[in-house]
Structure 1
Amino acid sequence: MVSITADEAQKWLIEEIAKRVGVEPSEVPPDQYFDELDLDSTAALIIAGEMESWLGFELGTTALWYHPTIEALSAHIAEECERRAAAA
């Protein structure tokens, strides 16, 4: 199992979101709410699917609800990776 840090997850998310909305990664604020990022539902679903492939596990369906910013979701991903590694 790959261990992913919050910084790595944040960088990945910012790059993917920037690519989908057509801006530079520096223009995607990590503390902005996902629903304010100009992502349509199709793009959000594609990013979620690619993220799960990158992570190697499925995030819960409520992950974005409870972690509504890039910063918060990145921290959650890092914690989940640590939890999974400890349980392995």
Structure 2
Amino acid sequence: MTEQAVTVSLSVEEVENWLREKIAYKLSVEPVEVSVDDFFDSFGLDSTEALVLAGELETWLGFELETTALWYHPTIAELAEYIVAEKDRLAA
């Protein structure tokens, strides 16, 4: 993890859009069809797909998420808020 990657500003909306696009791609639907308030398990992603998504997300963010992040923040909206708060915390 580089310090520069952590200090880049990131908004909740940017994270939500990234997650919506990735999930929409995996489901072969348009991003507007993916609600930020639906639970991740409602998207029908299997555990392997969820792990791949988490890995892609960590690469995009530039830092590692807790393995329980998707469990404790089970919607795109909740996870996006957590990620932005975590990124701000790491940058402080």
TM-score by length of 1: 0.93
Secondary structure of the residue that 2:74 maps to in structure 1? coil
Partner residue in 1 for 2:26: 20
* Contact in 2 for aligned 1:3/1:85 (Cα 8 Å): no
Question: Is residue 10 from structure 1 mapped to residue 20 from structure 2 by the alignment?
Answer: no
Partner residue in 2 for 1:36: 42
CA RMSD of aligned residues (A): 0.8
Where does the alignment leave 5 or more consecutive residues of structure 2 unmatched?
A: 1-5
Q: In the TM superposition, what whole-angstrom CA distance separates every residue of 1:30-57 from its partner, at most 9, and x where no partner exists?
A: 0000001121222211111000000011
Offset, 1:26: 0.5
Equivalent-residue separation in structure 1 for 2:44 and 2:28 (angstroms): 10
Offset, 1:3: 2.2
TM-score by length of 2: 0.89
* Farther off after superposition, 41-50 or 14-23: 41-50
Secondary structure of the residue that 2:67 maps to in structure 1? coil
